Amino acid sequence: MSKTSPEARIKALRAEIDRHNRLYYVDAAPEISDREFDRLMDELISLEKAHPEFDSAGSPSRKVGGAPIDGFVTVVHRLPMLSIDNTYQPSEVREFDTRLRKLIPGSPVAYSVEPKIDGVAISLTYEDGVFTRGLTRGDGEKGDDVTANLRTVRDLPLRLLCDNPPPLLEVRGEVYMRRDDFTRLNDSRRADKLEPFANPRNSTAGSLKLLDPAQCARRRLRLFAYGLGSVEGIRFLTHAESLERFKEWGLPVNGHIRLVHSVDEVLEIIAEWDERRASLPYDTDGLVIKLDDLAARERAGATSKAPRWVVAYKFAAEQAVTRLKSIDIQVGKTGALTPVANLEPVHLSGTTVSRATLHNADYISQKDIRVGDMVVVEKAGEIIPYISRAAHDRRDGTEQPFVFPSQCPVCGSAVARDADGAVWRCQGRECVAVLKRRLRSFGARAAMDVEGLGEEMVEQLVDSGLVKHLPDLYRLGAGQLESLDRMGETSSRNLLAGIEASKGRGLARLLGGLGIRHVGETVAEAVAGAFGDLDSLMAADEGTLASVDGIGPERAASLRGWLSDPENQKMLLELRELGVRVTADGPKRQLVAAIAGKTFVVTGTLARFDRLGIERAIKDLGGKVSGSVSKKTDFVLAGENAGSKLDKARELGVKVINEAEFVELAGL
Ligand code: IVH
């Protein structure tokens, strides 16, 4: 009998170690001792060292950590990693359910109710079943490439247990640290005279940013997979189905996920959870409630920040008690007056808080909150502090009830209460606070993107009286600008060029920039797309507006109300006369025959485009972009340092082009 070849032995060892990893971390049913396990691993590592030709990214030996790295590269997510809207009361979860059902009439409604793991969100890419890239969430659009560290995560499979893996599978999930591992880590940090971590979430985030994967390996990070990103070559009908498949493939899925068929059952789980969460070996900060049906999710859609098919229910936040020193009134871009508390600084979940919102006038009077009171501060979503109540039993009689102003603190105009709510608004057409905020959001990148119109410039333009109404921006001339303080010729020229360039942004970005209540980026785009130009939009009644996908009655009423106001109409007409484009964007370019309908895979670094830029260019010209090479790929566009995808293209005989050839094909 011939001796087993090194290649065969390496293969066998990898399979054996994968199996034991799974038995240990996923099934919690180990079959061998740690020593036996280490022996297998040592044998694999020394064989791999002797035979580098059999190196593989999927080898479990990578779990002990590869060589240190220099830093983290930022990578654009294939699909943005959105966040989730939070709720804090069972009634808000009911409202979510009602809202969602209206958006998807006729679709089945079942919810997956899941623990909200308090760790770090990540995206894991598996190509042909092998883990090839892991990114942090970052800003949602792009994150850091932390692949080397993620390879060391205990229960993260480096290779999916699957004979026929999809060419591309992006798994979303949470990396976390168990409380016992966290305590052990902090004990050893204290022993080494190092600052201990504040909580398991911070230590997870810190561990993922270590430059030495071997050190990360010792942190004992773990994973829960809870969703899909971009996938190719496989289709799922429901979320539950995808989780089942994850489990089969060896991806760890939380064992407390429940599928239910009514909001009442969701609320029952919420009621039980406070107790149950304390018994878990890891931290959770709430529950996530997700629509199960994936086609219905598509119909429900998303705002620019969060999908409409998911909501988080957050457990009661940490609290702190401090003194309320005074109350300021802030005037927002829609004229809303918001009371803000000035507090004796107090420490709360990791930050020092000295200001907190009091929401509105009714909130202050209903809760009988007075200046001088000791108040309870909490953090909503652990970010924005708010005052939940006053400690009435700690009063000494010196506290003063707050008198809500009857005039705008900025312009002195009368204030009036909204017909539909508790908000008071400045009625002044010329309130400079409102105008300043409005100009800022009008000029923001996501809106009209007016280069040069920063905070200080807005202050100057408004305070000098050069801009009294929004359209005045388009009436500015070089002579006027140069009369302003600290305004040189160059900055004046830049601002004017920025203003000029903003004229062409189109109807969606104009509407999104006007500060209309309930009309953000996503709604503005939907409306602009549906009506095409300002005249058709002006002619639409409330019902027609409400029938646009993703709008609904509340937004339609707000928009119709705004459009019907003669002052606003005048402003829109002025803007149009001043040359601001009030039509929607059509397709960005003519489709290009050489590219339309063709599938591209981009690999390596390009000179003229970043990843997002090249993907947009291909899509604008009618092409499709895919993450992995298969026989169906029409072109592989290869830049500098192209790697395995280029090899695969050659292997399959897929046409490979370089950047110059692409530019030529595209006629760019
Ligand atoms: S779903 C668009 N499910 O909570 C929906 N998120 O902003 C994507 N999180 O940091 C998220 N447990 O990483 C989902 N079972 C779970 C989760 C979960 C924890 C985190 C997530 C993100 C935050 C939500």
pLDDT recorded at residue 1:
45
Is residue 148 within 6 Å of ligand 1 at its C-beta?
Answer: no
Per-residue pLDDT tens digits for 185-218: 988 888 887 877 877 888 999 999 998 888 898 8
Is residue 114 within 6 Å of ligand 1 at its C-beta?
Answer: yes
Span 136-156, mean pLDDT?
91
pLDDT recorded at residue 383:
60
Among the candidates 355, 380, 401, a domain finishes at 401
Is residue 226 within 6 Å of ligand 1 at its C-beta?
Answer: yes
Residue 485: pLDDT band with limits 50, 70, 90: confident
Span 66-81, mean pLDDT?
84
Within 294-379, residue ranges assigned H as helices are 294-300, 361-366
436 part of the active site: no
**C-alpha of residue 382 to centroid of ligand 1, in Å:** 15
Q: Which of 3, 49, 102, 116 is catalytic?
A: 116
Per-residue pLDDT tens digits for 541-592: 999 998 887 788 889 999 999 999 999 999 999 999 999 999 988 654 566 7
Is residue 285 within 6 Å of ligand 1 at its C-beta?
Answer: no
Same domain (yes/no): 197, 225: yes
Is residue 84 within 6 Å of ligand 1 at its C-beta?
Answer: yes
Same domain (yes/no): 388, 469: no
**C-alpha of residue 417 to centroid of ligand 1, in Å:** 37
**C-alpha of residue 375 to centroid of ligand 1, in Å:** 31
Span 316-322, mean pLDDT?
77
**C-alpha of residue 614 to centroid of ligand 1, in Å:** 29
Which atom of ligand 1 is least distant from the CA of 84?
A: 7
- Calpha distance 555→69 (Å, rounded): 49
Residue with the smallest CA separation from ligand 1 atom 4 is 116
- Calpha distance 156→315 (Å, rounded): 28
**C-alpha of residue 116 to centroid of ligand 1, in Å:** 6
| Nearest partner of 622 among 593, 596, 587, judged by Cα | 596
- Calpha distance 297→300 (Å, rounded): 5
Per the model's pLDDT, the better-predicted residue between 268 and 618 turns out to be 268
Same domain (yes/no): 154, 227: yes
Which atom of ligand 1 is least distant from the CA of 227?
A: 1
* Structural domain for 41, as ranges: 6-55
Same domain (yes/no): 436, 572: yes
Same domain (yes/no): 470, 605: no
Percentage of the residues of the chain whose pLDDT score is greater than 90 = 56
Q: Please name the helix (run of DSSP H) or strand (run of DSSP E) that holds residue 478, with its range, or none.
A: helix 478-482
Residue with the smallest CA separation from ligand 1 atom 12 is 116
All residues at 6 or more sequence positions from 309 whose CB lies less than 8 Å from its CB, including other chains: 100, 290, 291, 296, 297, 300
**C-alpha of residue 295 to centroid of ligand 1, in Å:** 20
Is residue 171 within 6 Å of ligand 1 at its C-beta?
Answer: no
Number of neighbours of residue 652 by Cβ within 10 angstroms:
13
Q: Is residue 414 part of a domain?
A: no
Q: Please name the helix (run of DSSP H) or strand (run of DSSP E) that holds residue 301, with its range, or none.
A: none
The answer, yes or no, to whether residue 380 has pLDDT greater than 70, is: no
Same domain (yes/no): 510, 634: no
Nearest-10 Cα torsion for 353, 423, 448, 483: -80
Same domain (yes/no): 517, 624: no
Which atom of ligand 1 is least distant from the CA of 307?
A: 2
The answer, yes or no, to whether residue 275 has pLDDT greater than 80, is: no
Is residue 580 within 6 Å of ligand 1 at its C-beta?
Answer: no
- Calpha distance 289→111 (Å, rounded): 6
**C-alpha of residue 115 to centroid of ligand 1, in Å:** 9
pLDDT recorded at residue 181:
92
Tokens of 1: 């009998």
- Calpha distance 390→23 (Å, rounded): 53
**Ligand 1 site-directed mutation target among 114, 116, 292, 383, most atoms within 8 Å of CB:** 116
The answer, yes or no, to whether residue 69 has pLDDT greater than 90, is: no
**C-alpha of residue 157 to centroid of ligand 1, in Å:** 20
Same domain (yes/no): 238, 334: no
Q: Is residue 461 part of a domain?
A: yes
Residue 28: pLDDT band with limits 50, 70, 90: low
Tokens of 509: 């970005």
Is residue 116 within 6 Å of ligand 1 at its C-beta?
Answer: yes
Residue with the smallest CA separation from ligand 1 atom 21 is 121
- Calpha distance 514→519 (Å, rounded): 9
Is residue 117 within 6 Å of ligand 1 at its C-beta?
Answer: yes
pLDDT recorded at residue 134:
96
**Ligand 1 site-directed mutation target among 81, 84, 208, 304, most atoms within 8 Å of CB:** 84
Q: Is residue 594 part of a domain?
A: no
Per-residue pLDDT tens digits for 171-192: 999 999 998 999 899 888 888 8
- Calpha distance 440→453 (Å, rounded): 7
Q: Is residue 64 part of a domain?
A: no
Q: Please name the helix (run of DSSP H) or strand (run of DSSP E) that holds residue 375, with its range, or none.
A: strand 374-380
Contact in structure between 456 and 439 (CB atoms under 8 Å): no
pLDDT recorded at residue 368:
95
pLDDT recorded at residue 43:
93
**Ligand 1 site-directed mutation target among 226, 259, 290, 308, most atoms within 8 Å of CB:** 226
Same domain (yes/no): 293, 437: no
pLDDT recorded at residue 626:
86
- Calpha distance 123→144 (Å, rounded): 10
Contact in structure between 72 and 299 (CB atoms under 8 Å): no
Q: Is residue 126 part of a domain?
A: yes
The answer, yes or no, to whether residue 26 has pLDDT greater than 90, is: no
- Calpha distance 666→132 (Å, rounded): 30
Q: Give the E-state strand segments of 3-76 in sequence order.
A: 74-76
Residue with the smallest CA separation from ligand 1 atom 7 is 83
Q: Is residue 62 part of a domain?
A: no
Among the candidates 314, 348, 373, a domain finishes at 314
The answer, yes or no, to whether residue 244 has pLDDT greater than 60, is: yes
Q: Is 201 helix (H, G, I), strand (E, B) or coil?
A: helix
Same domain (yes/no): 167, 132: yes
Per-residue pLDDT tens digits for 124-136: 999 999 999 999 9
| Residues forming beta bridges with residue 426, ordered by sequence position | 415
Same domain (yes/no): 268, 338: no
Residue with the smallest CA separation from ligand 1 atom 18 is 116
Sheet holding 655-657, edge to edge: 624-626, 599-603, 635-638, 655-657
Number of neighbours of residue 607 by Cβ within 10 angstroms:
8
Q: How many domains does the chain have?
A: 5
CATH of the domain at 18: 1.10.287.610
Same domain (yes/no): 263, 335: no
- Calpha distance 532→585 (Å, rounded): 8
Q: Is residue 478 part of a domain?
A: yes
- Residue identified by tokens 């949602």 is 140
Q: Is residue 421 part of a domain?
A: no
| Residues found in the chain | 668
Span 234-252, mean pLDDT?
96
**C-alpha of residue 174 to centroid of ligand 1, in Å:** 7
Is residue 120 within 6 Å of ligand 1 at its C-beta?
Answer: no
